[in-house]
């Protein structure tokens, strides 16, 4: 498919992959998948597969980058060379630097950084497989991994993209919709407070479309929040029951 080529994005009220306009892709969340990280999460959002790992809080190095009043959040988003159709050149590029910055900023309002002066909280997001929306999948996974690491947070952050394809405002764009559609707007928010912590837009939306997109994203973030919360509860219930069985034995 080439840019500008006519694609029939919508047919009989359904999208190319059979979803309705306001339908999320399948989401799977697993907590605590890595032994050596303080907190971790594996997350699937449709065909996106991502891992988030958290280290810290620990002493910030180099020392001159320390903040005497609060912890510094380091966030590294990285796309594996095998995660895309055409092999991606390994290492950081402009896109990953931008996504890392936006993702870090999405967490700054919730992490209680003032508890850990001079410390660093490190978040690593590795994209293993991509199908658009990797930054949102990464933020959702990082949020769960931060909670798994026991980092004090005011709340979880949830994230999803909305956009415009075939003249319709739709939720959670896949790669074809993202690459050939008219607009893409990834959003991160504290779902329980409807507070937006990150918002980007690629393309154009009218004021009305923007409002409708925001509403779709808010509803979806509430759903994602519940999935994040359930995954964390399941993980810690399991851990508690193992401990109990050990005590009984």
Q: Is 177 in the site for ligand UDP (CB under 6 A)?
A: no
Nearer to ligand UDP (CB atom), residue 53 or residue 137:
137
**CA angle, residues 162, 166, 167, in degrees to nearest 5:** 75
Nearer to ligand UDP (CB atom), residue 24 or residue 60:
24
# binding residues, ligand UDP (CB under 6 A): 14
**CB 184, min distance to ligand UDP, A:** 6
By the 8 A CB rule, do 17 and 107 touch?
no
**CB 236, min distance to ligand UDP, A:** 29
**CB 186, min distance to ligand UDP, A:** 6
- Using CB under 6 A, which of the segments 57-65, 103-111, 126-134, 226-234 binds ligand UDP? 126-134
By the 8 A CB rule, do 186 and 224 touch?
no
Q: Is 130 in the site for ligand UDP (CB under 6 A)?
A: yes
By the 8 A CB rule, do 40 and 33 touch?
yes
Question: How many residues comprise the chain?
Answer: 249
Q: Is 158 in the site for ligand UDP (CB under 6 A)?
A: no
SS (H, E, C) 47-84: CEEEEEEEEEEEECCCHHHCCCCCCEEEEEEEECHHHC
Q: Is 131 in the site for ligand UDP (CB under 6 A)?
A: yes
By the 8 A CB rule, do 145 and 130 touch?
no
Q: Which of 100, 103, 134, 159 binds ligand UDP (CB under 6 A)?
A: 134
- Using CB under 6 A, which of the segments 51-59, 62-70, 80-88, 146-154 binds ligand UDP? 80-88
Q: Is 133 in the site for ligand UDP (CB under 6 A)?
A: yes
Give me the DSSP letters along 95-136. HHHHHHHHHHHHHTTTB-GGGSTTEEEEEEEEEEE-SS-HHH
Q: Is 135 in the site for ligand UDP (CB under 6 A)?
A: yes
Q: Is 132 in the site for ligand UDP (CB under 6 A)?
A: yes
Phi, psi (rounded to 5 degrees) for 127: -90, 115
By the 8 A CB rule, do 135 and 160 touch?
no
Which residues, numbered 82-101, are part of the site for ligand UDP (CB under 6 A)?
84-85, 88, 95
**CB 135, min distance to ligand UDP, A:** 3
Reference 107, options 22, 168, 197, 169; nearest CA is 197
Would you tell me how many other CB atoms lie within 10 Å of the CB of residue 202? Answer: 13
Nearer to ligand UDP (CB atom), residue 119 or residue 175:
175
Q: Is 175 in the site for ligand UDP (CB under 6 A)?
A: yes
> Which residues lie near ligand UDP (CB under 6 A)?
84-85, 88, 95, 130-135, 175, 178, 184, 186
């Amino acid at each position: 498919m080439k840019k500008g080529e006519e694609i029939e994005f919508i047919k009989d009220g359904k999208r190319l992959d059979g979803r309705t306009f306001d339908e999320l892709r399948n989401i799977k969340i697993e907590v605590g998948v890595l032994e050596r990280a303080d907190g971790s999460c594996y997350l699937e959002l449709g065909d996106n597969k991502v891992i988030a790992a958290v280290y810290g809080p620990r002493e910030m190095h180099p020392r001159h980058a320390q903040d005497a009043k609060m912890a510094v959040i380091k966030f590294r988003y990285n796309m594996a060379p095998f995660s895309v159709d055409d092999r991606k050149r390994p290492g950081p590029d402009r896109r990953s630097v931008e996504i890392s910055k936006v993702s870090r900023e999405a967490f700054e309002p919730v992490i209680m950084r003032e508890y850990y002066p001079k410390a660093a909280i490190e978040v690593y997001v590795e994209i293993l497989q991509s199908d658009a929306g990797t930054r949102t999948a990464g933020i959702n996974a990082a949020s769960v991994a931060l909670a798994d690491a026991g980092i004090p947070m005011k709340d979880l952050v949830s994230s999803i993209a909305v956009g415009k394809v075939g003249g319709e405002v739709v939720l959670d764009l896949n790669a074809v919709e993202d690459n050939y559609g008219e607009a893409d707007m990834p959003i991160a928010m504290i779902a329980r407070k409807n507070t937006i912590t990150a918002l980007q837009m690629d393309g154009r939306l009218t004021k009305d479309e923007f409002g409708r997109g925001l509403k779709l994203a808010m509803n979806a973030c509430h759903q994602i929040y519940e999935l994040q919360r359930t995954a964390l509860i399941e993980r810690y219930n399991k851990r508690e029951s193992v401990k109990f069985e050990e005590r009984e034995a």
